[in-house]
Structure 1
Amino acid sequence: MSRERVYDFLRGKFLLSEEASKHWWFIIFCTLLALIMIASSHSAERKVHLIAKMNNEVRELRSESIAAKKNLMTLKMKSTLEEKLKNTGVGPAKNPPKKIIVYLND
């Protein structure tokens, strides 16, 4: 390639020639493709950040759930119930419960 053609290209003379309409349409097309690619990249990155944030929330909620289950198991223990109800006078039954059987006649 000659030095003159390189300088003409760098100066943008190909945009001012008689065949410039072909070049302009191609440049507009490439620009639109670049804009679409940039928008798609930003959208994908935004989704990646959202997914990371949601994963952190899931981990936090899972640990809260485990802590709540542990607390519930502690509260349901017989010794814990007896300790909390000791001052109210409620305690385990002294007599075992009796089983009541009901027969239904058809």
Structure 2
Amino acid sequence: MRKGLLDILKGKFLVGADAAPKNWLFLLFASFLAAMMISSSHQADKKVHEISQLNEEVRALRSEFVKNRRDLQQLKLESSLKNEVVAKGLRPSTNPPQKIIVKTEN
């Protein structure tokens, strides 16, 4: 057991004549898998950061939309319209509106 452990630590399994090519192929394969795993992890992290940034942008745009909608509702109020048209010289009518009825002859 001790001799086998020392052989592994010294790397004799990589230079031995009988099984060295198999061991080298396995190490290359394991290294390739490790590199793929690291690459996949980095890509996933990049996607998470991109999603977070897009969520922040959506929140900012939503708050801007709500603000603009509130401002529009304020502008559509009758009191706001009265103030705007008074500045242009218009004023509300003093007599109430009358209904016009048109009779058609058949």
TM-score, normalised to structure 1, is 0.84
Task: Tell me, in whole angstroms, the C-alpha distance in 2 between the residues paired with 1:67 and 1:44.
Answer: 35
TM-score normalised to structure 2 length? 0.84
3-state SS, counterpart of residue 25 of structure 2? helix
| Worse-matched range after superposition: 76-85 or 89-98 | 89-98
Question: C-alpha distance in 2, partners of 1:62/1:6?
Answer: 63
1:26-105 equivalence runs, <5 A:
26-93=26-93, 96=97
1 CA distance for matches of 2:100 and 2:35?
Answer: 79
How many residues align? The count is 101
Structure 2: where are the runs of 5+ without partners? none
Long gaps (5+) in structure 1? none
2:90 alignment partner AA: V
Aligned-residue Cα RMSD (Å) equals 1.9
Distance 2:62 2:98 in 1: 40
